[in-house]
Amino acid sequence: MPTPPQQSTGRVYLVGAGPGDPGLITLRGVECLRRADVVFYDYLVNPQILRHVPPQAERVCLGRHGRDRIMPQSEINARMVAEARSGRTVVRLKGGDPAIFGRAAEEVEALRAEGISYEIVPGITAALAAGSHAGIPVTHRDFASAVALVTGHQQEDESAPELDYAALAAFPGTLVFYMGITTAGVWCRELIAAGRSADTPAAIVRRCTWPDQETICCTLQSVADEVEKRRLRPPAIVIVGQVTQVAVESWFEQRPLFGQTVLVTRPSEQGLELADRLHELGAAALLQPAIAIDEPDDWVPVDVALARLKEFDWLVFSSANGVRYLMDRLLSHHGDVRKLENTRLAAIGPRTAETLANYSLKADLTPPEKFRAEGLAAELVSQAAGRQFLLARASRGRELLAEALTAAGAQVTQVVTYNSRDVETADPEIAAALEAREIDWITVTSSAIARSIVNLFGEKLRKARLASISPVTSATLRELGYPPAAEAASYTTDGLVEAILSAQP
């Protein structure tokens, strides 16, 4: 009998995810994630980094203290080997750098023993992130010419080397303790007993590069008190040495929305864009899409309209989604952009115009300001009489534009180019955060979203401030009994972000 073809063995990539901020992973790390069939990730890894993983890939969280089952190291090794054997590309994604207190050596040994090929992709370790994001450089021309990375975690494994406190106390440079929060009392006492001055300046840097980063300057003697008084939980590093005296308030903590948590309720893809913008300004952005967008229930009316496109003088888009769904349909079923040769294009606002530009199309008309149906109507009515208009709209939307154009003598055809429906259940973690007043702002970018969040959260909405994109949305919020705390002056997401910024103390 012929032997079955040998299945080729997959590869394992041990990838450093960096300290938390999703932008702080290497390009090589992202390349590995993009080709992964299965990703084993630590709970310290920012889940946003998993955005790079193909949707069909399997994601395995290796556990979080007090929440899930923690997978023992032997089982992690065995699963990586088994996955690679079956021909899959495996990414083992670790917080920081895989080789700094990351058990890279043990995993490599297991892979080598089984003849599995592997690659290690470095990451930014927590101590280095303190230099960029917490204003504490671990080396300094005047204060420290050497750095030691130390574990504050007493190994359960008795064969592991004990810390030599005398040597550490005498170390001529900066000491950075990892995993030393719950054990701070012990190692600080030992260091002092071994001769390091109790007054040595120190800093605790918690959740470095995350939106809730904290930096606490203290002395070696007071580390444990600070941990207790502030009930600090891991992950945090403790930096011991003169360099902590040069700590300045970091650019990172000075960003205008640092410390604020904003809930973004737009549908996923656009929600991500707004979340990125808020993140850049320092906020923690959470996502709870209040509306889901998908294909229209029926493409026939759209196809009929697209088939007679040349009869229309104007094609009017009142959202970026409208552009995307209509243009994708045109390109997949009706030819290409030349079909629009004789049709003028109107866009409700700059985002819609930008989305047209992604299809190499220029809007002939965008209202000069305000960006809502009234503005578009005002611009179009003067040239409406006797003209044919095609309006690309959502399954629910305002009738204002169609009515205004018809009243001005136009022939109006409306087609539903995408379906918008309410999301019916809230993510329980988001609901709990809202209840606990951990969310400062909720963005409300349409009346439909206003109604949906009231269904999703009800009275809990009073525990955060609502930021509305326009007077129409604000009016809906007021009608529903939840008046907004801020309203955009320009009815775009940029305007909304501006409104939140100006409402800061």
- Return residues touching ligand SAH (CB under 6 A): 19-20, 44, 94-97, 100-102, 125-126, 178-179, 205-210, 234-237
> Interior CA angle at 384 toward 381 and 386, to 5°?
155
Please report, as a single letter, which amino acid is at residue 361.
L
Please identify, using beta-carbon distances, which residue of 14 and 272 lies nearer to ligand SAH.
14
Separation of first and last alpha carbons in the chain: 79
Q: State in angstroms the smallest separation of the CB of 499 from ligand SAH.
A: 31
> Could you tell me how far CA 19 lies from the centroid of its own chain?
14
Report residue 241 as tokens: 């040495």
- Which CA distances in Å does 160 have to 101, 149, 155, 211, 503? 13, 16, 7, 35, 54
Per residue, what are the HEC states of 295-327? CCCCCHHHHHHHHCHHHCCEEEECCHHHHHHHH
| Residue number, 52 or 207, with CB nearest to ligand SAH | 207
CB of 456 to ligand SAH, least distance (A): 31
DSSP letter assigned to residue 236: E
State in angstroms the smallest separation of the CB of 210 from ligand SAH: 6
Closest among 422, 418, 380 to 402, alpha carbons compared: 380
How would you classify the pairing of strands 441-444 and 261-264?
parallel
Shortest distance in whole angstroms from residue 130 CB to ligand SAH: 7
Residues 6+ apart with CB under 8 A from 244: 136, 201, 202, 203, 217
Question: What are the angstrom distances between the C-alpha of 472 and each of 181, 271, 292, 476, 479?
Answer: 50, 20, 21, 6, 11
CA 138-140-143 angle, 5° bins: 100
- Among residues 232 and 442, whose Cβ is nearest to ligand SAH? 232
> Strands 284-287, 261-264: parallel, antiparallel or unpaired by DSSP?
parallel
Choice between 207 and 266, CB closer to ligand SAH: 207
Between 97 and 487, CB nearer to ligand SAH:
97
CB of 125 to ligand SAH, least distance (A): 3
Nearest approach, Cβ of residue 216 and ligand SAH (Å): 12
Nearer to ligand SAH, 208 or 361 (CB): 208
- Shortest distance (Å) from residue 134 CB to ligand SAH: 9
Q: Which is nearer to ligand SAH, 5 or 161 (CB)?
A: 161
- Rounded least distance, CB 155 to ligand SAH, Å: 13
Taking the least distance from each CB to ligand SAH, the nearer of 96 and 349 is 96
Closest approach of Cβ 239 to ligand SAH, in Å? 10
Name which of 203 and 302 has its Cβ closer to ligand SAH. Answer: 203
Return the number of the residue (100 or 363) whose C-beta is nearest ligand SAH: 100
Q: How far is the CB of 201 from ligand SAH (least distance, A)?
A: 18
Give me the sign of the Cα torsion angle 418, 424, 428, 432. Answer: positive
Cis peptide bond prior to 137, omega within 30° of 0: no
Nearest residue to ligand SAH by CB is 96
Residue 169's φ and ψ, nearest 5 degrees, are -65, -35
Is 132:138 a contact under the CB 8 Å cutoff? no
Residues 281, 283, 287: CA angle, nearest 5 degrees: 120
CA–CA separation, 485 vs 326, rounded Å? Answer: 35
SS3 92: strand
Question: Of 234 and 471, which has the nearer Cβ to ligand SAH?
Answer: 234
Q: How far is the CB of 146 from ligand SAH (least distance, A)?
A: 19
